[in-house]
Amino acid sequence: TKSLSSGSPAGSPGSTVAPPPSEDYSPVRTPPQPELGRDSTFPPDIAAELDKQSDYLPKTHSCASVMTVEGKQTEWAIPTRLDRSLLREFLALDQHGKVQADYVWIDSEYTTDGHNFDLCSKSITLDHAPKSVADLPIWSYSGEDEGVAAEVIMVPRKIYRDPFRRGGNIIVLTDTYKPPRKGVDEDHNGPTEWNTRSLCDSIMKRAIHDGEDPWFGLEQEYYLLDAFTNWPLGWPTDGFPGKQ
């Protein structure tokens, strides 16, 4: 079952609720985008259809089976509201001086389509808070190299305080590299195909060496959606915000 981050996948144009999963079902990476009502998890017509299909859904978790436009069947978890008081209870647990470092990296199928990127993370528990990225271990994850399963190396580049887990916990931005070559004493091989930071870093260092003062600009535009309403966070639940 895949988790759902920004609303239900059901109800997009060309999508219909699927029959029970079969053994040869093929999951897809990107869920179809719904047109959700702002006060319900699913549009009324989709919700009614899901009720009819409820006997097909596993009893151990809440999910919805959908058939995508491509004709592939998949399952997506229905959002469950988080008990904030329970979350605060766990966040308040004594970590006894240890620190959770959430390594964040960009993963990609760059060799297959040239533009598909995923923002990923996983955590490691450290005995002490690091003073700099040099104190952090080089880590890895199971990824792909030119379409073949391979270990991908994550090199820490920047540390930020974790605004979600708070305390002394940190978020670590990393970039990715190919695994070390056999018989060579090295932490990693060259950068992965989608690691554009490595090339940028070498250009900036060269410019500094030549007496230049390089600048690097980055513009980001994004918005967060409520998992239950598919409506932007902070907006009125029954309409649009006033003039700014």
- Could you tell me how many residues make up the chain? 244
Task: Give tens-digit pLDDT for 82-94.
Answer: 778 888 888 888 8
SS (H, E, C) the chain: CECCCCCCCCCCCCCEECCCCCCCCCCCCCCCCCCCCCCCCCCHHHHHHHHHCHHHCCCCCCEEEEECCCCCEEEEECCCCCCHHHHHHHHCCCCCCCEEEEEEEEEECHHHHCCCEEEEEEEEEECCCCCCHHHCCCEEEEEEECCEEEEEEEEEEEEEECCCCCCCCEEEEEEEECCCCCCCCCCCCCECCCCHHHHHHHHHHHHHHCCCCCCCCCCCCCCCECCCCCCECCCCCCCCCCCC
The residue ranking higher by pLDDT, 66 or 141, is 141
Least confident of 2-11, 164-173, 210-219: 2-11
pLDDT band at 160 (very low <50, low <70, confident <90, very high): very high
- The average confidence (pLDDT) of the chain is 74
Task: Write down the pLDDT at residue 122.
Answer: 94
The residue ranking higher by pLDDT, 55 or 127, is 127
pLDDT band at 70 (very low <50, low <70, confident <90, very high): low
- Provide mean pLDDT across the span 174-192: 89
Task: Give tens-digit pLDDT for 108-148.
Answer: 766 566 667 788 999 999 999 999 999 999 999 987 666 67
